Amino acid sequence: MARRLSLQLTGRPLPVPSRARFLPYLLLLPSLVLAAGVIFWPVGDLLEIATNDVNRFGQLRGFNDFANFKALVADPNFTAALIRTVVWTVAVVGGTILISVPVALILNEDFYGRDVARVIVMLPWAVSLTMTAIVWRWALNGESGMLNSALRGLGLIDTNIQWLATADLAFPVQIGIGILVTIPFTTTIFLGGLSSIPPDLYEASALEGAGPWQQFRHITLPLLKPFLNIAMVLNTIYVFNSFPIIWVMTQGGPANSTDILVTHLYKLGFRIGKLGEASAVSVVTLAILLVFTIVYVRLAMREEAR
């Protein structure tokens, strides 16, 4: 009884018996060792390359006074790619969340064929991004693409649309495809979140006369918040780093007008062979994400504490 009381007073975590003080560390050890070994090891390497004069095969030729970073700042293509990356990330993540919340709500309802609907919504996830992008590129071809052919068949257009010829059209199309492939992951997270909301909360509020909108605002949304946060942070990271859609469809072209940081990085590193500058782009990318994550976690924590 006393144990129970103390628990309620101290809040969430269980009290740890003294003999088990090392237990949590032991439980965490394998995960941390693996993550540190495989992921953080290369980061050190990357930092070294980024601050060195380096040839195209990665042989280091000594510290070069941050010339790689200076070269980036002086390159208008880099700045343009940076801005475009922000647009890309905000548009894809924002669009995804706006669509996924109602989709998850619908899929959480009880209706005929729900299992089928769920499987269909998950389907884009079953295909690797690379393959999706290849299929879309094929479908969007101006003269022999099946999208134009379908739209013409339906009488929606008279002349073929050149989907990928200009950034004005290509970039929004890529954002749309980005949203489409991000929806399954996001919806699944939200479905998981929705299922963790106890139904009696709704019953109770219904008894008090709350309508569906009020229920959504006062029960669903607040309780979904942690899952929204997860979706927001993870999607931002994924989308920011997302490579195949843009690379396969336009390779960042025409004239670099659909380049984002990772495609710029790839071109620099593996097409042109400037590994130093490419590593510098990596470092900048990491720094941006780090700042974003820290700020976001701080904000989320402050809210939670409230």
Partner 1 sequence: MSRKWKRTLVAWVLLAPLMVLILFPFAVMTITALKPQAEVLNPTWWPSELRFRNLVEMWDATNFGQALLNSLYASGLATVGAILMSIPAAYAMSRFRFAGRGLVRQFLLVSQMLSPIVLVVGLFRLMASLGLVESVSAVGLVYMAFNIAFTVWMLQSYFDTVPKDLEEAAWMEGAGRFETLRRVFLPLVTPAIAVTAIFTFINAWNEFVIALTLLRRQESYTLPIQVFSLVAGRYTVEWHHVMGATLVATLPVAILFAWLQRYLVRGLALGAVK
Partner 2 sequence: MTKTALFKLGLAAGLSLVAVAAAQAGTVRVTVAEYSAKTGPYFEEAAKSFEAANPGTDIEIEVVPWDVLLQKLTTDIAGGSNADLSIIGTRWLLDFVSQEVAEPLDAYITDEFKGRFIDTFLSPSVMDGKTYGLPIAASARAMYYNKALFEQAGIAEPPKTWDELKTSAEKISGLGGEVYGFGLQGKEIETDVYFYYGMWSYGAEILGADGTSGLDDPGAIEAAKLYKGLIDAKATQPGVTSYSREDVQNLFKQGKVGMMITAPFLSNQIKEEAPDLKYGVTAIPAGPSGDRGTYGVTDSIIMFKNSQVKDEAWKFMDYLFTTEMRSKFTEGEGFLPVNKEVAASDYFVNNADLKEFTALLPDARFAPVISGWEEIAQITSDALQKIYLGEGDLEATLKDAAAKADAILKQ
- Give the bridge partners for 60, in sequence order: 54
Binders of partner 1 among residues 20 to 39 (CB under 8 A) are 20-21, 23-25, 27-28, 30-32, 34-39
Binding-site string for partner 2 from residue 193 to residue 232, where x marks contact by CB under 8 A and - marks none: ----------------------------------------
Classify each residue of 142-154 as buried b or exposed e, where b means 16 or more C-beta atoms within 10 Å of its C-beta: eeebebbeeeeee
Q: Footprint of partner 1 on residues 255-284 (CB under 8 A)?
A: 262, 265-266, 269, 275, 278-279, 282
Is residue 275 within the footprint of partner 2 (CB under 8 A)? yes
Q: How far is CA 269 from CA 155, 170, 239, 266, in A?
A: 45, 24, 20, 5
Q: For residue 138, what is the enclosing H or E element?
A: helix 129-139
Residue 256 interacts with which of partner 1, partner 2, none, CB < 5 to 8 Å by class = partner 2
Interactions with partner 1, residue window 229-258 (CB under 8 A): 230, 233-234, 237-238, 241, 243-244
- Interface with partner 1 (CB under 8 A), residue total 107
Q: Which stretch binds partner 2 (CB under 8 A): 10-18, 165-173, 174-182, 238-246?
A: 165-173
293 lies in the site for partner 2, by CB under 8 A: no
Token pair recorded at residue 82: 């940076």
Short-list 86, 64, 273, 257, CA closest to 265:
273
Asked if 161 is part of the footprint of partner 1 (rule: CB under 8 A), the reply reads no
Q: Which of 165, 290, 294, 297 binds partner 2 (CB under 8 A)?
A: 165
Cβ contact 105:91 at 8 Å: no
Q: Is residue 90 near partner 2 by the rule CB under 8 A?
A: no
Q: Which of residues 52-71 bind partner 1 (CB under 8 A)?
A: 58
Q: In this structure, are residues 140 and 249 in contact, taking their beta carbons and an 8 Å threshold? A: yes
174 binds partner 1 (CB under 8 A): no
Task: List the interface residues with partner 1, window 198-217 (CB under 8 A).
Answer: 198-199
Contact 238, 186 (CB under 8 A): no
Rg, the chain, Cα only: 24
In angstroms, rounded to a whole number, what is the distance separating the alpha carbons of residues 202 and 197? 9
Q: Which does 253 bind (CB under 5 to 8 A by kind): partner 1, partner 2, none?
A: partner 2
Instruction: List the one residue out of 136, 32, 72, 107 whose CA is nearest residue 279.
Output: 72
What is the nearest approach in angstroms of partner 1 to the Cβ of residue 123? Answer: 6
- The DSSP symbol for 18 reads G
Q: How far is CA 23 from CA 16, 20, 27, 28, 31, in A?
A: 9, 5, 6, 9, 14
Q: Looking at 90-98, 100-108, 140-148, 227-235, which segment touches partner 2 (CB under 8 A)? A: 140-148
Q: Which of partner 1, partner 2, none has residue 122 at its interface (CB below 5 to 8 Å by kind)?
A: partner 1
Alpha-carbon gap, residue 15 to 277, rounded angstroms: 50
Q: Contacting partner 2 (CB under 8 A), which of 98, 255, 294, 299?
A: 255
Instruction: Please give the residue ranges that form the binding site for partner 2 (CB under 8 A).
Output: 37, 55-59, 141-144, 160, 162-166, 170, 250-251, 253-256, 267, 269-275
